[in-house]
Amino acid sequence: MVTSRSAAAARLEGAVPRRRGPVLERAILEAALDQLGSVGWSGLTMEGVAVGAQTGKAAVYRRWPSKEDLVADALQAGLPTLDEAPDRGRVREDLYELCRSIRDVMYSKPGFALRAVLHECDHEAAERFHGLITTGIVEPFKRLFRDVIRRGIARGEVRSDALDDLVLDVIPAMMMYRSKVCGSEWVDDEIADVIDRVMVPLLRV
């Protein structure tokens, strides 16, 4: 009897506690982000997410009927937000700090997951994420760049006609291109170089 009880206790110690509701959902969303970061969009499976979350496949499918639905919710829940643009008193320093913050978002777990989606999924799947990417990434980052440039105009550092979409797209476009094509990890010195050699001359009065 003692032996049987000891064996049962050992099994209980190694068991994963039963999770329900928001706790289980959070574990599934985290597992989806982990899968995207390790095997990418093409390699992600609902079965793999279930294993990563230490739950059954049925628990995943009950909440998310498709891979696209699961990934959309995982990205929306996981992407960090940048609420305010830095204000260091000079446009060059503001842009530098903002780019460092964006770099940190790009290389966070949700950032890796988002890049896997952007780089790998087909056109039909990309349409599913277009609204999320626009409202969660593109528009907030543009708003922050716009705030920095607007303050620079008010201080007389930046030409008055600098607030247009092409100017606002320069740094995000370069960061995505150099990350994807050139393998750049955007160390601080490289960010400073882009600010000094590209953005400051572009904005200068």
Contact 106, 82 (CB under 8 A): no
8 A C-beta contact, residue 107 and residue 184: no
Determine the average pLDDT of the residues in 31-50: 93
pLDDT above 60 (res 2): no
pTM higher than 0.75 for the full model? yes
Q: Counting runs of H as helices and runs of E as strands, what totals does the chain give?
A: 12, 0
pLDDT at res. 105: 87
Task: Give me the DSSP letters along 194-205.
Answer: HIIIIIHHHHB-
CA 96 to chain centre: 19
- The Cα–Cα gap between 101 and 88 comes to 14
pLDDT (tens digit per residue) in 99-156:
999 899 888 888 888 888 877 877 777 777 888 888 888 888 999 999 999 999 999 9
Distance separating alpha carbons of residues 39 and 106, to the nearest angstrom? 17
pLDDT at residue 19, rounded to an integer = 67
Range 40-55 average pLDDT: 94
> Confidence band (pLDDT; 50, 70, 90) for 32?
very high
As to burial, measured by CB atoms within 10 angstroms (0-12 exposed, 13-18 middle, 19+ buried), residue 8 is exposed
**How far apart, in whole angstroms, are the C-alpha atoms of residue 205 and residue 159?**
4
Separation of alpha carbons 199 and 92, rounded Å = 8
pLDDT at 88: 94
Q: What is the DSSP annotation of 47-75?
A: HHHHHHHTS-HHHHHHH-SSHHHHHHHHH
Q: Per-domain residue ranges for the chain?
A: 2-66, 79-203
Topology alike, domains 2-66 and 79-203: no
Nearest to 164 by CA among 177, 150, 151, 174: 150
Q: Which CATH class is domain 2-66?
A: mainly alpha
pLDDT at 12 over 50: no
Could you say which of 1.20.120.1200, 1.10.357.10, 1.10.10.10, 3.60.40.10 is the CATH number of the domain covering 79-203? 1.10.357.10
